[in-house]
Chains A and B, each alone.
Chain A
Amino acid sequence: MSGETSLNLFQQQEANRRRTALLVIGFVVFFAWLGFGGDYIYHLYTLAEPPAAYHHTFPWFGIALSLVAALMAWYAYATGPEKVLWSTGAREVVDATDPKERQLVNVVEEMAIAAGVPRPRIWIVDDPDPNAFATGTEPLHAHIAVTQGLLDLCTRDELQAVIGHELGHVKNLDVRLMTTLAALVGAVALMHDIAQLLALGVSRKREYLADAMSAQFTRNPLALASALQKIESADAPTTHIKRGAAHLCIADPLGRRLTAHEGLFADALATHPPMAKRITILRGMGYAQLKKEGGTVA
């Protein structure tokens, strides 16, 4: 099992590095295309002018727009994690004294050990709806945020499973792609819908993978199943998490009905796979494990 997982992990990391690079390049190329296209049109437009008039021969627009886009992409990549956290109004947990927060810190430390990654920084979003997300551009500087609702609602095991899921995203570098995407969406309002479509395409499969990684870290798939159940039944939208960051979360913060459906249409338009299917898969893992250990289903 572990050999197979590690192969997946390596491929997943590579795919995420590549996709992030493609995303950034695509972003810059799009603006370069706009700029140089404008230059070309202006050039044709001034071609027929009398010799004394202005002739647009040097592609100023193209160069300027490409530079601006490159700068913006670099800025988005460099400040993406902060922007995402800032947009949710999260506060960092330092020197936790509250028992629940202390427990959160412990659980994150435990899962970081299980995943073999450095301990991420921990944030709490003051929202009563249970949800969680991870952000960052590499495992060394990763962040994990959970809502107050998740802390209040989940048992220790369930919290552990959710954190395991998020660290799965950190470990296979999903966070890099997702955060860059969210930051680029934020950088250009115009890009919003295009990027939203991109986000849809990239996030469904990796939720299943992160679920599986959580099960590998905690060896307790049933805990994640019951956490997802709780998150699902608390139907309210997570108001603090905006659309641009929706694809980062463990469950769709917008509470869109579409998420609950299977099929071509939902596959193309929902950011998250159906909760029922995720829970079924996790329960399957849990029962298989119990059977192997000779126990009975509790």
Chain B
Amino acid sequence: MGGSLILLVLVVVVALWMVGAYNGLVSLKNQTLNAFKQIDVQLKRRHDLIPNLVNAVRGAMDFEKSTLEAVIQARNQAVKVNAAGPEGIKQISQAENALSSALQRLMVVVEQYPQLKATGNIGQLQEELTSTENKVAFARQLYNDTATQYNTKQQQFPTNFVAGLARAQPADLWEIEDQAERAVPQVDLSMKPKP
């Protein structure tokens, strides 16, 4: 009698724990998915901003056609890959990284033409671009943090027993692919006075 009671309590405790662990995993999974969607939102914003940016500097930068072309091409490529759907996270991140470096090159070029900077809206434009790049970066950061948390939870003992039940799959992290890109010198767009 006493033995079966203890067994019953044990079963209830294990069941309650399983419910908690399962719900925790599902919640983390949804947070991860949501964080991924947020990256998407920010990337779309950036794609919409770029045509405006290029138009704003086009007149003054006829002699830098190749840089502008590179930006537009990278942008169109990124839009195309994004339209293909979220399963190609590797491809998307490659295209977006290429766009980031094209934009950085453009901003370096803009810095080199003081008369261009003097035309007013360029400062504003730089701020918008900085912010856009930051938003993409922070959205990725949130995604990576959430996904790491989700992955860790799945693998940790004893939650890993419930992971199969909750259909938890390790989430891909958003990575910067090649070493050369990682080494792109940080362009200072923050409008800080130079020290």
Chain A interface (Cβ within 8 Å of chain B)? 2-3, 6, 99, 102-103, 106-107, 109-111, 113-116, 155-157, 217, 219
| Segment 24-39 of B: residues with Cβ below 8 Å from A | 31, 35, 38
* Cβ of B20 to closest chain A Cβ, rounded Å: 13
B145, A110: Cβ atoms closer than 8 Å: no
Using CB atoms, name the residue of chain A closest to B145. Answer: A2
Closest B residue to A103 by CB, please name it.
B127
Separation of A77 and B192 alpha carbons in the complex (Å): 41
For A103, list chain B residues within 8 Å (CB): 127, 131
Q: Is the CB of A110 within 8 A of B134?
A: yes
Q: List, sorted by A's number, 30 A–B pairs whose CB atoms are closer than 8 Å.
A: A2-B148, A3-B149, A3-B152, A99-B123, A99-B124, A99-B127, A102-B124, A102-B127, A103-B131, A106-B128, A107-B131, A109-B131, A109-B135, A110-B134, A110-B138, A111-B138, A113-B38, A113-B135, A113-B138, A113-B139, A114-B138, A114-B142, A116-B35, A116-B38, A116-B142, A116-B146, A155-B190, A156-B190, A157-B190, A157-B192
> Closest chain A residue to B148 by CB distance?
A2
* Most chain A beta-carbon contacts within 10 A, residue among B124, B134, B152, B191: B134
B42 within 8 A of A: yes
Contacts of A113 in B (CB 8 A): 38, 42, 135, 138-139, 142
Smallest Cβ-Cβ distance to A113: which chain B residue: B138
Cβ-closest chain A residue relative to B144: A2
B126-164 residues with Cβ-Cβ distance < 8 A to A are 127-128, 130-131, 134-135, 138-139, 141-142, 145-146, 148-149, 152-153
Q: Cβ of B146: which chain A residues have Cβ within 8 Å of it? A: 116
B191 / chain A contacts, CB cutoff of 8 Å: 156
A residues less than 8 Å from B145 (CB atoms): 2
Report A36 CB to chain B, min CB distance, Å: 41
A102 to B121, CA, bound (A): 13
Q: How far is the CA of A113 from the CA of B138 in the complex (A)?
A: 6
Instruction: Give the residue of B35, B123, B130, B148 whose beta carbon is less than 8 angstroms from that of A156.
Output: B130
Ranked nearest first, the 9 interchain pairs of A and B with the lowest CB-CB distance are: A106-B131, A114-B138, A156-B190, A113-B138, A110-B134, A2-B145, A155-B192, A2-B149, A116-B142
Contact of B141 among A106, A155, A157, A219 (CB under 8 A): A219
How many Å from the CB of B165 to the closest CB on chain A?
Answer: 21
Report A238 CB to chain B, min CB distance, Å: 25
From residue A249, how far is it (CB to closest CB) to chain B in Å? 25
Chain B residues contacting A155 (CB-CB under 8 Å) are: 190, 192
Whole-angstrom distance between the Cβ of B45 and the nearest chain A Cβ: 10
